[in-house]
Each structure stands twice: as structure tokens, then as C-alpha cells.
Amino acid sequence: MRRVHVAPSILSADFRFLNHEIEKVYEAGATYLHFDVMDGHFVPNISFGLPVLESLKGHYNMIYDVHIMISDPLTYGPKFVKAGADIVTFHYEALSNDKERNKVIRAIRKAGGKVGMSIKPKTRVEVVFPFLKMLDLVLVMSVEPGFGGQKFIPASLDKIEKLRKYIDRYKLDTLIEVDGGINNKTAKLCKEKGVDILVAGSYLFGSSKIKDRVEGLMHD
Ligand code: DX5
Ligand code: ZN
């Protein structure tokens, strides 16, 4: 059985006690920390940006998995690497053509980061296939990006399955990540389809059973 990683999304954390919240998910066994960066333009919400990442840089032994839901990933993708991101995942839909998308991939890599590409629920999964060999990660959005606490979109499972088949067929090492509405039930469905990383926000933060829930996502 594939080892599955958990990436708690700090968007759902209590920012009054951010350090404590991160320590709780770290001690529970989470290996990734998911940062949802929103610009109020690509998505109808504004979250946080470079200063938050800079303040956390190097403080936690977790992979800083930065999901940029922004309209200008070419300018800001490399800046997030410099601010401490290990992986910067930008949106396919933020660019109008593949030439531009390739430029973003190169810019993030040149800055020293790993790079991921994310697709919204209404975007066909096949559009990312040509990029997979250049990507460290592909992020399937199982909710409309912009907010935590939404309901999982079941059609995402078909995308995970198609990605798993393609990645295995061409012996790529691109990781598959799913993001949005993940809980013990939806996580199980995603794992059966071959996902590698589960992003979870509201299912973890705010719960009194964070340790059980992180372990449950990884092992159940
Ligand atoms: C949505 C974000 C997700 C979200 C996950 O735009 O990309 O990471 O915070 O939150 P839950 O797990 O509550 O759906
Ligand atoms: Zn996210």
C-alpha cells in the first residue's frame, strides 16, 4: 500500500495560536504543511502572503507546500521559494497558454523550488498530462478554490485515477495531491484511487482529536 502523506492547510488554523496549531499537526505525524495563498483576484478571497511564510521559514521540520491561488504566479512563484517554500503549486487556469505555463515552471525551478500544477474542478485532467514529466506534484482541487470547509466533489476521484494510471504508465515520479473537503471518508476514496498527499484544513484544525484524525487519514 502506498504511503500517504498529510498536508494540514493552515488556512483553517486559529492564527492567534499559529505556532501551537502547527506543533499539534507536526506531533500528530503530518509531514507537509499546506499554505493557501489567495490574492482576491484569481479567487474571491484574500488569505496571507510572503511575510507569513518568511516568519515560519526553517522553524518546522515539514515540507512547506505552498498553493498559490493567484493571477501572477510568474512574478510571485519564485518569491515564495525565496520566502521558504519547498514546493510552489500554481494554477493551470492562471495562464492563457502552455508557453506561459512552461515559463512559470522554469521560473520556480530556477529559484530553487519544486513545482506543482493545480487544476480546478471544472478543468479536464488531460490538460496537465504534457506537463507531468516536468512537475514534482499535481494538485487536484476537489472543491472550488477560495475557501476551506466546502464539500468534496466526487468527480475528483476520476481525475486521481487517470493521473495515477498515466504516471505509473510512463514511470514518472510526480506526486498526486488532493485538496478540499478531505475527511476520513473522502480520504479513503482518494487513497483507493492512488493519491499520495491529502490536504486537510477544517477536518483537522478546530478538532479536539487532531492526532487521531491525522493518523486516521494516513493509516485507515
Ligand atoms: C481551498 C484551499 C484548500 C482548503 C482546504 O481553496 O486550497 O486547501 O483550505 O480546506 P478543507 O480541508 O476545509 O476543505
Ligand atoms: Zn490548497
Q: What is the pLDDT of residues 23-42, one digit of tens each?
A: 999 999 999 999 999 999 99
Mean pLDDT of all residues belonging to the chain? 97
Q: Which of 6, 11, 140 to mutate to test the pocket of ligand 1 (most atoms within 8 A of CB)?
A: 11
Mean pLDDT of 102-128: 98
Residue 123: partners with Cβ closer than 8 Å, 6 or more residues away: 92, 93
Kindly give the distance from the C-alpha atom of residue 179 to the centroid of ligand 2, in angstroms, as a whole number: 6
Q: Is the pLDDT of residue 18 over 70?
A: yes
- Rounded to an integer, the average pLDDT of 65-76 is 98
CA of 168 to the centre of ligand 2 (A): 24
Residue from 136, 147, 37, 132 nearest 94 by CA: 37
- % the chain with pLDDT above 70: 100
* pTM > 0.75: yes
Q: What is the per-residue pLDDT for 1?
A: 65
Position of cell 484511487? 193
Atom from ligand 1 closest to the CA of residue 145 = 6
Q: Name the region of 171 (left: φ>0; alpha: ψ -120 to 50; beta: rest).
A: left
Q: What is the CATH number of domain 5-219?
A: 3.20.20.70
Task: Kindly identify the ligand whose nearest atom is closest to the C-alpha of 143.
Answer: 1
Atom 9, ligand 1: which residue's CA is nearest? 148
Mean pLDDT on 160-180? 98
Residues with CB under 6 A from ligand 1: 9, 11-12, 34, 36, 67, 69, 143, 145-150, 179-182, 199-203
Residue 72 Cα, ligand 2 centroid: separation in angstroms?
Answer: 17
CA of 104 to the centre of ligand 2 (A): 18
- 5's enclosing H/E stretch is strand 5-8
**CB-CB neighbours of 132 under 10 Å:** 18
Active site members: 36, 179
The answer to whether the CB of 197 falls within 8 A of the CB of 4 is yes
Radius of gyration of the chain measured on its C-alpha atoms:
16
Band (174; pLDDT cuts 50, 70, 90): very high
pLDDT at 2 > cutoff 80: no
C-alpha cell at position 138: 499535481
Backbone angles phi, psi at 3, to 5 degrees: -75, 130
Q: Which of 6, 10, 12, 70 to mutate to test the pocket of ligand 1 (most atoms within 8 A of CB)?
A: 12
59-65 average pLDDT score: 97
